[in-house]
């Protein structure tokens, strides 16, 4: 902390520079407030957060919760926030899995795997994300209509309305509860199971068992456990419909993010001393065992910090969804601004939400880092 | 002393990578087959069955027709130049060439002295601006709202790098200053901007700043966006510079003082040249990312390459050929980004060898 002694050691000029800087910041802030008051008064807008209770009167593309156009701004913004978190988390998980596969392939000694993974990285990392998302969206909306939908085994259908997949016939609130339970189980497993492998096994088995148990218990007699999409007239019924916007967003962000994460993973693997691999091989371990029990655990320590940066990047990247009309928080905020004129309040909400999400993600990364830190290494 | 590794021939090395185990051979052959099939599909659709000239656009509708490059032939001027007046397109082209030449020249080690690099970039940027704007040269004036397409992307890119670089250096120096107020202001700004999506920062500049500024200070939207984008660049670049500073031992500062140099002199003559060198690979990476990120300005309503591409297939007979247009634009971005990225990797390797 700053003490009087620090000030006494400074020259008069150094003190003057600092006072000048603080004054400059204050002048900028106060004149901004002043002209905001003048400009808002001219536009006839009353500032404050009371607009959050007014109903919006407009609709948007995607929501996880029940919604109507009479929703107040507060609920609409909450839905946008949930959409951002939803797409962000799914993209983070999928991009991390795909990224580890790509990174391991790039590190492999097999020429074929190396070539195909570096082609992948060269393509998807070197084209702007927004262009990839817009391109994917254009491809998807040019799919045939529901009647001529492409189908895989009559269970998965792809049409210009999105992708329809079979799904366990469970009500939305039960699914939400199960997902929450699965997350808690995952956290508990990582905390208390001795090894990563055991934690993964517990989490996977527990989650799958819980979903099927819920489906068995909650489905009324005589109804199917799984709801399949079926063509009824001009549209599909049953199953789960992933809308074109959601698919384009998630696939685009995952392909792009995985190229970056792949490079992070490759870099981490390359830093593991060669002697460790040779030691494992001379113990008679196969190449998968060497990768899983020796190289990856060592590599994770250098992978996690840049991986955390990629996760934060992916969260922020969800804002490109506005280009294809996906109703993420940025989309909702910018529409609310045009509709209500409460610019300053809405921008503050947008910034606050992203600061919150990034802070939470950073905590997760720090926690992972602390857990994985090698005893006796570094600080 | 380490023993020389056993030498193996090139063919043997290849054989080991491909056929170490039978499974390796199978995997390699399988992937080769997939890649060959994909390449054949691309060549067949994109070259062999493709329609090339604008006059032949009618042929695109035939069943066996592949890619319809006629749309590029017919509308490439719209894609590359946006709404810039048709008769003045030569100015847009020369301006873009000036920026590209600036980037290429700054890859040559002879230019890697602060004074040369700064003069080069200012010269390149001034050439661009004078050609595009026109009125100081006695050409027809073209205002910034008519700039578009590739030239606009290059304009955003070069002005962000040109403005952001000194801002980043300033923020980095402030953040490691002995004076706590400077340190706090810089850290607050850097951490704040870095945790927001670029789009939020740009949107704030485009929509919110007009409310916060008196009329006479607002300026064009494009300049507000450029300044916000430069700030975004500067906050990331400041962290890159910070990494460069951390690579320099304290003894270097003391050596400067022992030679009787002042604080700023030893900074400029001893420390900064080394900081730039250490930070170079990460800086190039940052420049590449910036080029890629310029693509989001379409959302703020600037008529960039992506927007002009959408305009190109947005009307009349061309609606069906969105794919060809996007591929064309993707190739342009890809060529720029890959060559910059390759150069960065080359430089990193080169410097690694020099250090040993």
**B83 and B225 housed in the same domain:** yes
Q: Please indicate, yes or no, whether residues A136 and A8 belong to a single structural domain of this protein.
A: no
Whether B292 and A128 lie within 8 Å, measured CB to CB: yes
C-alpha span between B263 and B253 (Å, rounded): 8
Q: Is B214 on the interface with A (CB under 8 A)?
A: yes
Short-list B281, B283, B303, B328, CA closest to B221: B303
Q: Is the pTM of this model over 0.90?
A: no
What is the residue-averaged pLDDT of chain A? 85
Same domain for B23 and B114, yes or no, is no
Let me know if residue B233 belongs to a domain: yes
Q: Across all residues in chain B, what is the average pLDDT?
A: 85
In a domain, B251, yes or no: yes
User: In terms of domains, do B195 and B145 share one?
Assistant: yes
Please name the residues between 67 and 126 in chain B that touch chain A, using a CB distance below 8 Å.
none
Strand partners, A151: A157
The answer on B20 and B77 residing in a single domain is: no
Residue % of chain A over a pLDDT of 90: 32
pLDDT of residue A221: 65
B26, part of any domain: yes
Same domain for A117 and A154, yes or no, is yes
pLDDT of residue B20: 67
Residues of chain B in contact with residue A142, where contact means CB-CB under 8 angstroms, are 322
| B26 vs A contacts (CB less than 8 Å) | none
What number is the average pLDDT over the span B312-340?
88
Q: Which is more confident, B339 or B114?
A: B339
If asked whether residues B236 and B317 sit together in one domain, one would say yes
Number of folded domains in chain B? 2
Instruction: Judge if A239 and A345 occupy the same domain.
Output: yes
pLDDT in tens, A48-75: 788 888 888 788 878 777 777 888 888 8
Please, which residues 267-286 of chain A have a Cβ atom closer than 8 Å to chain B? none
- Is the pLDDT reported for residue B214 higher than 80? no
Assigned domain for A282 exists: yes
How many structural domains compose chain A? 2
Residue A378: per-residue pLDDT: 46
Whether B191 has a pLDDT exceeding 70, the answer reads: yes
**Does B198 lie in the same domain as B166?**
yes
Q: Which residues of B touch A108 (CB under 8 A)?
A: none
Is residue A322 located within the same domain as residue A264?
Answer: yes
Rounded to an integer, what distance in angstroms lies between the CA atom of residue A239 and that of residue A229? 4
Is B62 inside any structural domain? Answer: no
| Structural domain span for residue B38 | 10-48
Please give the share of chain B, as a percent, with pLDDT higher than 70. Answer: 94
pLDDT at A228: 78
Q: Are residues A91 and A32 in the same domain?
A: no
Q: Higher pLDDT residue, A97 or A33?
A: A97
User: pLDDT band at residue B198, thresholds of 50, 70 and 90?
Assistant: very high
- Asked if the structure places residue A172 within a domain, the reply is no
Q: Which residue, A186, A358, A162, is CA-closest to B191?
A: A358
CA atoms within 13 A on the CB side of B155: 32
Interface contact A127-B338, CB threshold 8 A: no
Predicted ipTM of the assembly: 0.88
Residues A252 and A105 grouped into a single domain = yes
Q: Is the pLDDT of residue A239 over 80?
A: no
Clarify whether residues A342 and A302 are in a common domain: yes
DSSP per residue over A201-252, as a string?
HHHHHHHHHHHHHHHHHHSPTTS-SEEPPEEETTEEESSEEE-HHHHHHHHH
Residue-wise pLDDT for B32-41, tens only, equals 999 999 999 9
Q: How many beta carbons lie within 10 A of that of residue A176, not counting itself?
A: 13
> For residue A77, is pLDDT > 50?
yes
The whole domain housing A10 covers 4-44
> In this structure, are B190 and B324 located in the same domain?
yes
The reply to whether B106 falls in a domain is yes
Q: What is the pLDDT of residues B215-232, one digit of tens each?
A: 777 778 888 999 999 999
**In which residue are the tokens 């959409």 written?**
A83
- Flag whether A93 is in a domain: yes
Looking at the structure, do residues A12 and A86 belong to the same domain, yes or no?
Answer: no
In a domain, A353, yes or no: yes
User: Best interface-test mutation with B: which of A21, A128, A342 has the largest number of B CBs within 10 A?
Assistant: A128
Per-residue confidence (pLDDT) for residue A357, from 0 to 100: 93
Residues A39 and A78 in one domain: no
Output Rg (C-alpha) for chain B, integer angstroms.
25
Chain A partners within 8 Å of B210 (Cβ) = 39
Full DSSP string of B3-49: PPPPP--HHHHHHHHHHSSHHHHHHHHHHHHHHHHHHHHHHIIIIIS
A18 and A99 fall within a common domain: no
pLDDT tens, position by position, A174-227: 888 888 888 888 888 877 777 777 888 888 899 889 888 887 887 766 667 777
- B80/B111 same-domain check: yes
Assigned domain for A185 exists: no
We report the CATH number of the domain holding residue A343 as 1.10.3720.10
- Report for A158-162, B71-75, B78-82: range of highest mean pLDDT: B78-82
Q: Looking at the structure, tell me whether residues A17 and A95 fall in a common domain.
A: no
Q: Kindly state whether residues B291 and B168 are assigned to the same domain.
A: yes
Write out pLDDT tens, residues B271-309.
888 888 888 888 988 999 999 999 999 998 888 899 988
In a domain, A211, yes or no: no
Task: Tell me the mean pLDDT in the region B20-41.
Answer: 86
Q: What is the CATH number of the domain that holds B257?
A: 1.10.3720.10
Q: Does any domain span residue A61?
A: no
Mutate to test the interface with B, among A43, A45, A110, A259 (most CBs of B within 10 A): A110
DSSP code of residue A163: E
Whole-angstrom distance, CA of residue A269 vs CA of residue A235: 49
Q: Is residue B343 part of a domain?
A: yes
pLDDT at B171: 95
Interface of B with A in 246-285 (CB under 8 A): none
Residues B216 and B317 in one domain: yes
Q: Which single residue is written with the structure tokens 């091989």?
A: A281
pLDDT number for residue B161: 92
Q: Are residues A148 and A243 in the same domain?
A: yes
Q: What is the CA radius of gyration of chain A?
A: 26
pLDDT at residue B6 is higher than 60: no
A63 domain residue, yes or no: no
Question: Could you identify the residue written with the tokens 């899995």?
Answer: A97
Residue in B closest to A260 by C-alpha? B289
């Amino acid at each position: 902390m700053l003490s009087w002694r620090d000030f006494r050691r400074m020259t008069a000029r150094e003190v003057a520079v600092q006072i000048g800087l603080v004054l400059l910041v204050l002048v900028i802030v106060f004149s901004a407030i002043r002209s905001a008051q003048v400009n808002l008064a001219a536009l006839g807008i009353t500032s404050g957060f009371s607009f959050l209770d007014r109903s919006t009167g407009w609709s948007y593309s995607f929501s996880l919760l029940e919604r109507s156009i009479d929703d107040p701004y507060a609920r609409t913004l909450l839905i946008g926030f949930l959409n951002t978190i939803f797409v962000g988390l799914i993209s983070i998980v999928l991009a991390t899995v795909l990224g580890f596969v790509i990174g391991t392939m790039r590190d492999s000694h097999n020429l074929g795997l190396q070539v195909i993974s570096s082609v992948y990285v060269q393509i998807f990392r070197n084209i702007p994300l927004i262009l990839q998302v817009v391109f994917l969206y254009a491809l998807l909306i040019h799919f045939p209509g529901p009647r001529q939908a492409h189908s895989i085994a009559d269970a998965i259908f792809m049409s210009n309305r999105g992708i329809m997949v079979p799904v366990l016939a469970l009500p939305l609130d039960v699914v939400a509860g199960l997902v929450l339970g699965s997350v808690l189980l995952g956290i508990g497993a990582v905390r208390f199971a001795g090894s990563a492998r055991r934690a993964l096994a517990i989490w996977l088995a527990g989650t799958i068992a819980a979903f099927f148990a819920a489906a068995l218990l909650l489905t009324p007699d005589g109804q199917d456990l799984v709801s399949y999409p079926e063509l009824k007239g001009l549209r599909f019924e049953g199953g789960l419909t992933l809308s074109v916007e959601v698919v384009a967003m998630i696939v685009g962000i995952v392909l792009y993010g995985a190229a970056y994460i792949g490079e992070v993973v490759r870099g981490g693997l390359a830093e593991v001393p060669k002697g460790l691999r040779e030691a494992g091989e001379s113990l008679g371990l196969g190449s998968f065992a060497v990768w899983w029990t020796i190289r990856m655990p060592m590599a994770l320590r250098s992978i996690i910090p840049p991986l955390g940066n990629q996760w934060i990047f992916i969260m922020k990247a969800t804002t490109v969804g506005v280009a294809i009309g996906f109703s993420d928080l940025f989309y909702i905020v910018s529409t609310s601004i045009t509709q209500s004129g409460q610019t300053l309040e809405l921008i503050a909400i947008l910034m606050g939400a992203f600061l919150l999400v990034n802070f939470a993600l950073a905590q997760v990364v720090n926690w992972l880092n602390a857990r994985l830190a090698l005893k006796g290494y570094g600080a | 002393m380490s023993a020389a590794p056993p030498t193996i021939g090139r063919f043997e090395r290849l054989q080991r990578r491909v056929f170490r185990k039978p499974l390796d051979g199978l995997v390699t052959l399988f992937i080769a087959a997939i890649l060959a099939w994909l390449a054949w599909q691309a060549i067949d659709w994109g070259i062999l069955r493709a329609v090339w000239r604008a006059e032949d656009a009618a042929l695109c509708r035939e069943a066996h027709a592949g890619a319809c490059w006629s749309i590029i032939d017919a509308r490439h001027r719209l894609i590359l130049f946006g709404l810039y007046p048709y008769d003045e397109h030569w100015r847009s082209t020369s301006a873009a060439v000036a920026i590209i030449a600036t980037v290429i020249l700054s890859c040559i080690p002879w230019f890697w002295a602060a004074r040369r690099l700064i003069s080069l970039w200012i010269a390149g940027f001034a050439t661009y601006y004078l050609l595009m704007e026109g009125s100081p040269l006695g050409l027809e004036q073209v205002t910034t709202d008519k700039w578009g397409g590739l030239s606009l992307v290059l304009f955003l890119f070069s002005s962000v790098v040109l403005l952001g670089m000194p801002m980043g250096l300033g923020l980095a120096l402030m953040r490691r200053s002995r004076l706590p107020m400077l340190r706090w202001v810089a850290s607050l700004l850097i951490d704040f901007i870095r945790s927001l999506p670029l789009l939020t920062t740009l949107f704030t500049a485009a929509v919110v700043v007009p409310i916060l500024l008196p009329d006479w200070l607002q300026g064009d939207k494009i300049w507000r966006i450029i300044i916000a984008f430069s700030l975004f660049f500067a906050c990331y670049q400041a962290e890159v510079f910070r990494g460069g500073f951390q690579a320099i031992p304290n003894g270097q500062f003391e050596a400067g003082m022992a030679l009787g140099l002042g604080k700023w002199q030893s900074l400029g003559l001893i420390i900064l040249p080394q900081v730039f060198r250490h930070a170079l690979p990460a800086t190039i990476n940052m420049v590449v990312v910036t080029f890629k990120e310029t693509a989001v300005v379409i959302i703020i309503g600037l008529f960039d390459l992506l927007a002009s591409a959408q305009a190109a297939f947005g009307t009349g007979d061309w609606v069906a050929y969105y794919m060809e247009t996007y591929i064309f634009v993707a190739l342009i971005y890809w060529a720029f980004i890959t060559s910059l990225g390759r150069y960065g990797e080359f430089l990193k390797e080169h410097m690694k060898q020099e250090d040993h």
